Structure 1
């Protein structure tokens, strides 16, 4: 063991050794609660005074694991000793061997690094000697420190896994949640407003298709100041977006595959339903990801929503500078070979034509009265179906339980690894289907509000989408395009907008307006 020597308390000329006190705690909580670092320093100072050392430096490692070799404090100690020409006049003092390291390899490397400078080590709980007994005892103490770290990690993991199996999240709170003390639960995830409402709106929008791509979810979240407040970056990464979309916490469930914790109902309140969560996963698997384009802004609200009538490709838009230096906004087709390629359309003309189109979609009062009667009949039929849905859900749960039980019997008898894996995947799928059915049953299928409330909400938009468009909000305008039109609009430079394909509510209202259809009465 090169560099080993029996510890002394004085230099060759009789002067006291200079002590460097090293203190370490392994967690942030220990730096905020208790007095760990100060207690270690005081104990080391008392020991140095007892041994006659002169303390010249105190070094701390705050919230750093003893398993790590590369630590700021240890690096400072070693570099300091390397710079000293008489490093043999120094001794590194620490409160316990576990403060130096909690890993046998780390301990040996640190010991060699300190001894290589010529300095010594000393500690109140162990005497560092170079004989066989001293080395044996030192090694056992270092191994014991590592064993304590590993055992503590295992016990902590087992406790956390047990709590997760009981439906409690035991890591950092996801965005939109915070931990609060709840009677009978301890620390429980609760909604953290206004962040929770923003995330809920984004998740529901993506599940329903109102936000059609991950790019739109990204843009929606970035435009909400209450969501972006306190973030280091001004933009979200796609990794952040996919993390929001794939976390089962937001559906009120918990899953930790690496700890063998399968999907299970959590005790916290979900922001969305499990059914909506599964819709989101299905959309992600189908590839509902489009780039978050920077050119979609309030200057050209119809960009991407209007097609060239000649080639069927989306119109682009830009600002064009005239000879006088003044900028003018235009829409244009940029498709090679199109007869309208690079032939600009003034923004004012195209958007004025669109606003006129929206105003024509406003139905008359008589049409709304007729629509109200017919929607009322459909509403009553929906209420009658709710009891049938409840019975069907109960039957589904019984059927799924029976299928799961049958597969479990087969799983016990299976010996082939691939067969076992196939059974396990099938069981996991059935259990998830059962959770969705049970959740829908608990929520009592049927409307959550009265017909008058629901129709009043819809009436505000259906009566005049033009009013929402006038709000000048880009999000509101994009919503009008999605809710009012089933397909993108075709626009010709000379003839204007072609007949649009509207969504079902507006199509029905248009048919009522022209008396082209009527709703058949129900058989009594």
Structure 2
């Protein structure tokens, strides 16, 4: 009696032919009893079908046969398509088994070593390869069809998961509550220019985030790069032709954010890298704060000593009298936070802010509509260029390969522009919510800045002081405040009744307001621009005091009151 080993395997988690492993085993055992074989062992392989997996199975089966050589003579399979999925694999593995004195038998097909048996075996191997190729082709077509419909048929990327919905074969991907915010942060931090991909990988790795399966996410530079390049997070997918299609899932970022990220990723020269690192996360006031003596920006550095590291700001201008006079990082940032408290106006003037803000909001609405119309014009121009290319291609003026590339680039530009229009009018912004945000912005400037991360600080401080601030070694001053603060300053000036406006007097010290003259005489006469400047108006100066806005150095008054 010949000894046999039964080899069973599945095609996938869901049997395509509705045949379970137990059913396969019963049929194989019945076949062995009929042929008079003695079953030595039953080997089960439950891996999922794939090209690489099939090749691995062939190697594993051959290794198993070598290990069991001499213990069995016949290898029984349920069907030949469980043995190998291509003619090449089938005949190669069959030949290797024959070298080990092992023959192959199928419980479902009549094969043997006779000429007719070999013919049947060869034909069945060819049919199995054809059937496998057809299944794979249909599967690929189905995948691309799903993508064209805006559905993602593959494993969702990090930050998303696919819930099981009864009656729905392929449900929409939804945000993974455990880690979606990390994906948003990756795009936000990278676009600020304060973080490189390496720094982002380290930052995210320190958080030890987990996905919806409670699996710890491992972030590397390559993984961060893969995330930044994935249009899925912007609500886009790439179809079979290489064009973008709008997905039905909810995007984590806007298309504008994704486009900005791609522009940064394409700038891989050393020069571009330095631009991205212009704002250092450890020194948020670097290059934002200027020296009051030379008007050059401060820089920052870490120094070592006494068993520790210490952060400092300093003026790096060798011609300045305060060159390399360091200021501890903590001290300067605390002074800046105190300065933010000083610029907060009185509540009585914030009340009058609403009417002016609404006026500015209405102006901005018109600007947005103008942007929409300009975007429409851009799309029309792109479509004209597309039509021109097609016309030249039909006449044979442009080579086919070059025409195909240019048309593909144009199609992507048109698609992205149309998606941008959708984003532009996707949501209605409430005037009440904008006012609430503006009030919070004005009232809590110091608290928000102090509690923010470095990238948020960079944005926030530039939002309040568009031209930066100056520091004289003791206190801060500014050239220009943000629009909300300027509007309140104007309101305070209109409400003030101290002195009526007379215009600007000649640029002489004798014409200065008493307060300004005393301030100049004390220590800032040397900072007066050589070209001269107009003196501050008395009523505007009183309005600044009334709004509780700090009086800047004298050489900045002209810029603020102009």
State yes or no: 1:375 paired with 2:357.
yes
CA shift, 1:417, in A, is 2.6
Q: How far apart in 2 are the matches of 1:29 and 1:236? A: 33
Q: Which residue of 1 aligns with 2:227?
A: 244
1:315 aligns with 2:300: yes
One of 460, 480, 486 as aligned partner of 1:508: 486
**Alignment check: 8 A CA contact 1:207 1:276 kept:** no
Structure 2 residue aligned with 1:111: 94
User: 2:211–2:217: 8 Å Cα contact kept in structure 1?
Assistant: yes
| 2:66 aligned residue | 82
Q: How big is each residue's C-alpha offset from its partner over 1:196-254, in whole Å with a ceiling of 9 and x where there is no partner?
A: 85167437736974876556765775576666676766652233323333322233332
Q: 1:66 to 1:118 in 2, by over 3 A?
A: farther
Q: 1:52 to 1:68 in 2, by over 3 A?
A: farther
CA positional deviation for 1:467: 1.4
Which residue of 4, 21, 25 corresponds with 2:10? 25
State yes or no: 1:266 paired with 2:247: yes
CA distance in 2: counterparts of 1:56 and 1:489, whole angstroms? 85
Residues of 2 paired with 1:369 and 1:165: CA distance? 52
Tell me, in whole angstroms, the C-alpha distance in 1 between the residues paired with 2:84 and 2:481. Answer: 68
Write the mapping of 1:181-260 to structure 2, written as runs, cut at 5 A: 187-194=170-177, 198=181, 201-202=184-185, 205=188, 209=192, 214=197, 236-256=219-239, 259-260=240-241
1:69–1:110 contact (8 Å) kept in structure 2: no
Q: CA 1:459–1:286 in structure 2 vs 1: closer, same or farther (change >3 Å)?
A: farther
Whether contact under 8 Å (2:31, 2:107) holds in the other structure is yes
Report the equivalent of 1:457.
437
Q: Partner of 1:173 in structure 2?
A: 156
Check the 8 A contact 1:214/1:289 in 2, yes or no.
no
1:13 matched residue in structure 2: none
1:100 deviates by 0.7
Aligned with residue 468 of structure 1, among 448, 455, 470? 448
Alpha-carbon shift at residue 83 of structure 1 (Å) = 4.2
Tell me if the contact between 1:127 and 1:134 (Cα under 8 Å) persists in the aligned partners: yes
Q: Check the 8 A contact 1:468/1:476 in 2, yes or no.
A: no
Q: Determine whether 1:42 maps to 2:50.
A: no
Give the C-alpha shift of residue 386 in structure 1.
5.2
Deviations 1:294-333 (A, max 9, x none): xx88xx67596788969967423367445xxxx5745377
1:408/1:356 Cα in 2 relative to 1: closer, same or farther (>3 Å)? Answer: same
Q: Is the 8 A contact 1:198 1:227 kept in 2?
A: no
Q: Tell me if 1:427 matches 2:407.
A: no
Q: Secondary structure at the match of 1:140?
A: helix
| Alignment partner of 2:335 out of 353, 366, 386 | 353
Listed one character per residue, the Cα deviations across residues 49-93 of structure 1 (whole Å, up to 9, x for unaligned) are 222222222222222447558766655554454345734x43211
Whether the aligned pair in 2 keeps the contact of 1:167 and 1:265 (CA below 8 Å) is: yes
The offset of 1:502, in angstroms, is: 6.8
163-172 or 95-104: bigger deviation: 163-172
Which stretch shifts more, 431-440 or 237-246? 431-440
For residues 480 and 489 of structure 1, the distance between their equivalents in structure 2, rounded to whole angstroms, comes to: 13
Corresponding residue number in structure 1 for 2:524: none
Structure 2 residue 38 is the aligned partner of structure 1 residue 58: no
Deviation at 1:39, TM superposition (A): 2.5
Contact conserved, 2:210 with 2:217, CA < 8 A, in 1?
Answer: no
- Give me the whole-angstrom Cα distance separating, in 1, the residues matched to 2:369 and 2:359: 17
1:103 Cα deviation (Å)?
1.3
**Counterpart for residue 503 of structure 2:** none
Measure the CA separation in 1 of the matches of 2:190 and 2:175.
21
Tell whether the 8 Å contact from 2:382 to 2:410 is kept in structure 1 after alignment.
no
Cα gap change, 1:335 to 1:392, in 2 (>3 Å): closer
Contact 1:19 1:56 in 2 (8 A): yes
2:396 to 414, 435, 456: 414
Q: Is the contact made by 2:195 and 2:276 (CA closer than 8 Å) also made in structure 1?
A: no
Q: What are the residue-to-residue correspondences of 1:66-77 with 2, within 5 Å?
A: 67=51, 75=59, 77=61
Choose 102-111 or 481-490, whichever is displaced more: 481-490
Once the two structures are superposed, residues 161-193 of structure 1 have per-residue CA deviations (whole angstroms, 9 ceiling, x without a partner) of 233233332222233333357899862424224
Structure 1: segments with no counterpart, 5+ residues: 1-15
Residue 100 of structure 1: which of 83, 100, 108 is its match? Answer: 83
Q: Secondary structure at the match of 1:187?
A: coil
Contact 2:442-2:485 at 8 Å conserved across structures: no
Contact 1:210 1:479 in 2 (8 A): no
d(CA) in 2 for partners of 1:472 and 1:386?
Answer: 29
Structure 1, residues 332-380: CA drift from partner, whole Å, max 9, x if none? Answer: 7799999999987555534433333333333333553465443222112
Higher mean alpha-carbon deviation, 509-518 vs 124-133, is at: 509-518
Is the 8 Å Cα contact of residues 465 and 480 (structure 2) preserved in structure 1? yes
Q: TM-score with structure 2 length normalisation? A: 0.69
1:121-132 aligned within 5 A? 121-132=104-115
1:40/1:182 Cα in 2 relative to 1: closer, same or farther (>3 Å)?
Answer: closer
The 1:331/1:233 distance shift into structure 2, 3 A limit, reads farther
Distance of aligned partners of 1:403 and 1:160 in 2 relative to their CA distance in 1, 3 Å threshold: same
Which residue is 2:536 aligned to?
A: none
